[in-house]
Amino acid sequence: MAKRPIVIYGDPVLRKVSQPVVEIDQEIKDLVADMIATLKNARGLGLSAVQIGELKRLFIVDLSAVDITEHLRVFINPEIMETSGEVELEEGCLSFPGLYLKIVRPSNVKVIATDINGNRFEMEAQSLVARAILHEYDHLEGTLFIDHLSPLARSMIKGRLRKLAKVS
């Protein structure tokens, strides 16, 4: 397990659509191990492969730091089946260090994915778990959490985004 650098806003890879994982081989298992080490080091709640420069349809979510009933989950080739509800909450992203914004997202999600052992699973999630899944899924589509802001809200953070993009 090796910690990898997190891709910061401004890097064009964050806007690319990730490619499906064809086989869960040792390379994918090593990638997941690296992602876990990177997430733990960054003290984040979720991480997509693209955030460490790998255009693979894969993300991890670990909310155990904020909810003791939660555990780390691996989502390979996830598909969002349905969403419902709507809630506005503060959200951050490891690719946008120090930036936290109120974002409107569905409050419920139903997702189908494959785990690290190659087993397909279906999951329904609410609240913070749903938000984390949808946030990481967006990364696989090349969508960033700032894309959910209104044009006015986005214009208000333009300077901060410019500064982030220059750092990367």
Which residues make Cβ contacts (< 8 Å) with residue 11, sequence separation at least 6?
168
Please pick, among 54, 91, 136, 141, the residue that the annotation labels catalytic: 136
Burial degree of 25 (CB within 10 A; 0-12, 13-18, 19+): exposed
Task: Identify the helix (H) or strand (E) that includes residue 114.
Answer: strand 108-114
Burial degree of 160 (CB within 10 A; 0-12, 13-18, 19+): middle
What's CA 93's distance to the chain center, in Å? 8
- CA–CA gap between residue 81 and residue 62 (Å, rounded): 21
91 is catalytic: no
- Catalytic positions, please? 136
